[in-house]
């Protein structure tokens, strides 16, 4: 059952259009990410759900009720900001209990709930401390607890991990997901980090320039992108401009070499299409699948667990990722190399 619904939401700031034709249905307990580059409208949309911006047109419904024009302090949504926004003049416990205090709940009830939440975020002793005494990661956890204390209908997070270092970010990421699943709370998460979006979400909404490009599960978005933008924004993408040799059997030609996609493709024979390949589906040598392309090694980047090799094929450069192992013999720059891949690794963009 749809819990949160955005219907044809549109937001204009004077002459510029920030969000256009935004349609989304979110189930209760679902974790949805808004993913896109800066300026794509994801934060604006989140702020409209929170009530800090009013849509120019369209409607937002939460649990059946129309909240499009409701003031933010009446919506019962919990919000976590990138800058934490903890009240510096209050202790951690007072920060968490703030929302409940406003609702005039009894003191012992507040104390109990604050204690539960401090346990939930693994900071049981930090109640009497002030925000300036905590690290960035700890402050963000307190911000999360504060948003959850009021038992909101929806939890909104606006790039909450962007201000933290990589290691803390990874830890906190798992924490957020764990807590969200434990409480079963409907969550909207805004980020420009695709790894974050894919690791956390049930579904991802990929946005660009105010418009939704694709909505789907992380696996779907990554492996079956519906637009050029989604394909290149999410993950690394190899693009080869090929000629269609036989549309029914899905045969293409690149630089004189033949490629089989295994499935029928839309464009007719002789047309030019872009073939997309993910680096991790390509293999060294001739044993990786029916398709083989030969080129010259241009660069070898050892990244630790993966080795990223750039192979020049005609006018394009192919990137392929190989898992590291001790017995691996790294290719040399300038060496001739064969890259192979199975037919199902091929993805030809569907006609617009």
Where on the chain is the footprint of other proteins (CB under 8 A)?
50-52, 71-79, 81, 83-89, 98-99, 102-103, 130-132, 136, 139, 143, 146-147, 150, 156, 163
CB of 105 to other proteins, least distance (A): 11
Q: Which is nearer to other proteins, 18 or 164 (CB)?
A: 164
Q: Is-contact 206 233, C-beta < 8 A?
A: yes
Q: Which is nearer to other proteins, 50 or 234 (CB)?
A: 50
Q: Which is nearer to other proteins, 74 or 182 (CB)?
A: 74
Q: 10 Å Cβ neighbour count for 96?
A: 30
Q: Which is nearer to other proteins, 15 or 256 (CB)?
A: 15
CB of 176 to other proteins, least distance (A): 17
Separation between Cα atoms, residue 104 and residue 341, nearest integer Å: 64
Q: 10 Å Cβ neighbour count for 59?
A: 14
Q: 10 Å Cβ neighbour count for 177?
A: 16
CB of 260 to other proteins, least distance (A): 54
CB of 193 to other proteins, least distance (A): 20
Q: Which is nearer to other proteins, 85 or 297 (CB)?
A: 85
Separation between Cα atoms, residue 285 and residue 276, nearest integer Å: 20
Residue 243 tokens read as 């000629």
Q: Which is nearer to other proteins, 55 or 137 (CB)?
A: 137
Reported as half-sphere exposure (CB side, CA atoms, 13 A), residue 13 has a value of 9
CB of 212 to other proteins, least distance (A): 25
CB of 139 to other proteins, least distance (A): 5
For 314, list phi and psi in degrees, rounded to 5.
Answer: 65, -120
Q: Is-contact 114 127, C-beta < 8 A?
A: yes
In 3D, which of 2, 4, 24, 12 has the Cα closest to residue 207?
A: 24
């Amino acid at each position: 059952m749809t819990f949160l619904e955005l219907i044809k939401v549109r937001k204009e700031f004077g002459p510029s259009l920030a969000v256009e034709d935004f349609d989304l249905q979110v189930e209760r307990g679902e974790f949805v990410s808004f993913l896109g580059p800066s300026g794509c409208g994801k934060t604006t949309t989140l702020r409209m759900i929170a009530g800090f911006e009013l849509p120019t047109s369209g409607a937002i419904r939460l649990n059946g009720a129309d909240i499009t024009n409701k003031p933010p302090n009446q919506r019962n949504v919990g919000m976590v900001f990138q800058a934490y926004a903890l009240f510096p003049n209050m202790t951690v416990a007072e920060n968490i209990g703030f929302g409940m205090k406003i609702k005039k709940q009894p003191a012992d009830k507040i104390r109990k709930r604050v204690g539960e939440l401090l346990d939930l975020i693994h900071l049981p002793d930090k109640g009497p401390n002030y925000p300036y005494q905590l690290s960035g990661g700890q402050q963000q956890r307190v911000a999360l607890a504060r948003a959850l204390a009021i038992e909101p209908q929806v939890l909104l997070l606006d790039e909450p991990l962007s201000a933290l270092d990589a290691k803390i970010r990874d830890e906190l990421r798992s924490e957020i997901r764990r807590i969200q699943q434990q409480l079963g709370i409907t969550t909207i998460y805004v980020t420009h980090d695709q790894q974050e979006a894919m690791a956390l979400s049930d579904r991802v909404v990929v946005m660009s320039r105010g418009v939704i490009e694709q909505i789907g599960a992380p696996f779907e978005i990554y492996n079956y992108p519906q637009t050029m933008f989604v394909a290149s924004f999410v993950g690394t993408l190899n693009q080869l401009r090929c000629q269609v040799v036989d549309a029914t059997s899905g045969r293409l030609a690149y630089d004189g070499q033949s490629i089989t996609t295994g499935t029928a493709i839309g464009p007719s024979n002789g047309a030019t299409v872009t073939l997309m390949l993910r680096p991790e589906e390509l293999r060294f040598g001739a044993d990786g699948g029916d398709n083989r392309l030969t080129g010259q090694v241009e660069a070898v980047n050892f990244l630790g667990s993966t080795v990223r090799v750039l192979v020049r094929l005609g006018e394009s450069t192919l990137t392929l990722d190989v898992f590291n192992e001790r017995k691996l013999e790294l290719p040399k720059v300038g060496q001739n190399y064969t890259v192979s891949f199975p037919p199902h690794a091929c993805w030809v963009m569907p006609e617009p």
